[in-house]
Chain A
Amino acid sequence: MSHHRTSRCVAAAATALAVAALAACSVPEPEAEAAAAPGVTDTTVTVGTHQPLTGPAAAGYSSISAATKAYFDYVNDKGGINGRTIEYVVKDDGYNPATTQTVVRELVQEDEVFAVLNGLGTPTHSSVLDFLHQNEVPDLFVASGSTGWNEPETYPNTFAFNADYVTEGAALGQYAADELTGKAACVLGQDDDFGTEFLEGVELALGADGLTDVQTYSVSNQDVTAQIGAMKAAGCEVVMLATVNGFTALAIGTAAQLGWFPRWLSSSSGGDYPTLVGFLGEENGPKLLQGFVSTNYLPMADDEWVELFRQINDDHNGGAPFDGNTIYGMSVGYLFAEALAMAGEDPTRESLVEAIESGKLVGNGVVPLAFGPDDHAAFRGVGITMVNEGVQDFVGTTYSVDAETVEAVEPQPVPLENEGVPAP
């Protein structure tokens, strides 16, 4: 009998000890101290992100965070910003909103990051908007073209980065109207906000009845033969794509198999030339992509920024493949570094947000940044790019889009200064 009593006492003691240990290694911090500048010490600044490193969406995006990290390593080697090195904590959410919730909570409550940077994905990031807002964490430069990040009233700490899908659709639609006048235009879009907002933009430029056919596809079904067949039958000559890279390739490839070669105009999300060649093959890719039109708002091809980024990629990113994602990741890093520098010698979360809203950030895009107290969108216009003989570059046409109109403007690329390290 006493045997059992002893063992029960032992069990109870063990449980108590375990609970105490668990509690001890997770003592909540007193509110006051940590509030002002969590993640900032005299020598470091820590920022975090959630990215799909695994899972079905990873294929297109897993290289972005590595590129951003490489850029931060470069800046840290040059002394950092205001004497502080930038630490980048990257957490995998597998493009699953439930996991995003968990990892973002880890970032804010466990890793105590200064800000969340470049959170990727529309469904994933939407699920953490409220949490970040409630905890007053700066939510910078979301990696998604949804229009939902530009809501200063509801989410004053959230800032967009990508030119949104409406802007892209409008720019491509206007380009079709200007350069491919009279040709029957169609849209193939993803069956979610990406597709619907892109279509909205196209209709802004071409009018609600300016399209001959509209098709949608679902990422869960890797067969677009039916949709391509339908557009071919409808007589489309210009096809605008709101597709991710894999499906852009699938669409172009399937159409080629059917002996159909319309003009392809794609959103930047699915318009990266090296990636598409990877899907279509070295042999057929360049031929099928001749004349391929897309959009971009960041530097590309023979640009001094691109050269710098290539160098950083070789030195700090283990020579990983260099493509649009690399330029994107490093540009995001640059913009953050610029904002951090402008946030002052002793940055706080408030001063960081103020710096961005001041409108004085320059960035490195071909279109000026639109940040302001009432506007949390970064790029309100895009440049048109085309593939010619295996090289994808700007054609010089740039469009600026606002609520009602699409206007052709002059591109305003930012010259490279201070070797790509922002000065305070």
Chain B
Amino acid sequence: MDRLVFLLATGVARGAVFALFALSLVIVWRAARVVNFAQGAMAVVAVFVAFGVTAATGSYWLGLGSALLTGAVLGVVVERGVMNHVPAGNPLPGMIVAIGLVMVLQSGLGMLFGPQHRPMAAPFDERPFQVGGVPVLSPYDVFVLVVAVVVMGVLALLFTRTSLGLQLRASAFAPEVSRLLGVRVPRMLTIGWVLSSAVAALAALLLVPTELGLNAHSADMLFVHAFTVAVVGGLDSPVGALLGGLVVGVLMTLVTGYLGATVAPVAVLVLLATVLLVRPAGIFAAIEARQA
């Protein structure tokens, strides 16, 4: 029973990070109708920058800020510099270009920083609180959860209550009509990419301290997990991303805990395949969105 509680708590903490990353995939999907396969690699670049800034200044928060900034800048660069030139209408070239970007970014990082894993320190204690003798969440885990919920809340408000959010949604859903109504559609597209990239950078930054260390390939599994979350929750649904994140996080931790770490990637594959075959556009996705 103790073990179960511990695993559930750890699962929730992991799930929050997956949910955040999945949210970034949802944002870019809603803004540009593209699954950004390069999201993980772009996020890792931002984390490397944060690592460097923290090492130079000694401040985690400055590092966090620089990660967000780098993510945003990368979003602009990738969207304006590369994705803009991809012929629309067919998702294939966009995916292939994203794959090419992943290769360029990861090999570039490998050349600049080498293959070793660089351990990153967390800003808060990683020792869990004990509730009735059972380790539950650590201060750091709580921090991660809080950040994830706050960011999701802010983005939800942005999309539903602000004029900018309305413009973003309109540009994605009906670009021609929006343009006629005076919405600067290309700018909305860029903003979508910027938001998505910054959120992904944040998620990766939150994840890395709990792992072996920072490395060019740190976000590979994160991308697969987050993609699974986005599929489970539906690429169109932010709420789906949150719930999906919790589900996948808890599931993966339970699998690792009871069946062993070896089984984990297989479990992700099985989960992904099952959801895709039963509900090809996700459990929470709206029916209309599936046709897009």
Q: Which A residues lie within 8 Å of B119 (CB)?
A: 249, 278-281
Tally B residues with Cβ within 8 Å of A. 35
Is the CB of A250 closer than 8 A to any CB of chain B? yes
Contacts A56-B217, A223-B211, A229-B7; is A216 near B257 (CB within 8 Å)?
no
| Bound form: Cα–Cα A223–B257 in Å | 10
Within A226-278, which residues are at the interface with B (CB < 8 Å)? Answer: 226-227, 229-230, 233, 246-247, 249-250, 256-259, 278
Is the CB of A221 closer than 8 A to any CB of chain B? yes
Q: How far is the CB of B15 from chain A (nearest CB, A)?
A: 13
Q: How far is the CB of A382 from chain B (nearest CB, A)?
A: 26
Q: How far is the CB of A261 from chain B (nearest CB, A)?
A: 12
Q: How far is the CB of A163 from chain B (nearest CB, A)?
A: 25
Q: Which A residues lie within 8 Å of B253 (CB)?
A: 225-226
Is the CB of A76 closer than 8 A to any CB of chain B? no
| Bound form: Cα–Cα A257–B264 in Å | 22
| Bound form: Cα–Cα A126–B46 in Å | 39
Contact of B213 among A58, A233, A279 (CB under 8 A): A279
Contact B7 A250 (CB under 8 A): no
Contact B212 A246 (CB under 8 A): yes
Q: Annotate A35-65 by CB proximity to B: 1 below 8 A, 0 otherwise.
A: 0000000000000000001111011001000
| Bound form: Cα–Cα A315–B68 in Å | 43
Contact B127 A259 (CB under 8 A): yes
Is the CB of A220 closer than 8 A to any CB of chain B? yes
Contact of B121 among A56, A218, A281 (CB under 8 A): A281
Contact A216 B130 (CB under 8 A): no
Q: Which B residues lie within 8 Å of A330 (CB)?
A: none
Contact A257 B138 (CB under 8 A): yes
Contact A221 B10 (CB under 8 A): no
| Bound form: Cα–Cα A225–B10 in Å | 9
| Bound form: Cα–Cα A55–B211 in Å | 17
| Bound form: Cα–Cα A58–B113 in Å | 13
Contacts A58-B115, A226-B256, A233-B2; is A221 near B127 (CB within 8 Å)?
no
| Most chain B beta-carbon contacts within 10 A, residue among A58, A225, A256, A279 | A225
Q: Which B residues lie within 8 Å of A225 (CB)?
A: 10, 253, 256-257
| Bound form: Cα–Cα A265–B221 in Å | 30
Within B102-145, which residues are at the interface with A (CB < 8 Å)? Answer: 110, 114-117, 119, 121, 126-128, 130, 135, 138
Contact B211 A191 (CB under 8 A): no
Contact A257 B257 (CB under 8 A): no
Contact of A230 among B3, B126, B138, B210 (CB under 8 A): B3
Contact B212 A226 (CB under 8 A): no
Contact A54 B2 (CB under 8 A): no
Q: Which B residues lie within 8 Å of A216 (CB)?
A: 260-262
Contact A54 B257 (CB under 8 A): no
Is the CB of A134 closer than 8 A to any CB of chain B? no
Is the CB of B265 closer than 8 A to any CB of chain A? yes
Within B1-17, which residues are at the interface with A (CB < 8 Å)? Answer: 2-3, 6-7, 10, 14
Specify the chain B residue showing the minimal Cβ separation from A221. Answer: B261
Binding site for B on A (CB under 8 A): 53-56, 58-59, 62, 191, 215-218, 220-227, 229-230, 233, 246-247, 249-250, 256-259, 278-281
The contact sample of 12 A-B pairs, CB cut-off 8 A, is A59-B116, A216-B260, A222-B211, A223-B210, A223-B261, A226-B261, A230-B257, A246-B212, A257-B127, A258-B128, A259-B127, A281-B119
Q: Which 6 A-B pairs have the closest CB atoms?
A: A226-B257, A58-B115, A221-B261, A59-B116, A218-B262, A226-B256
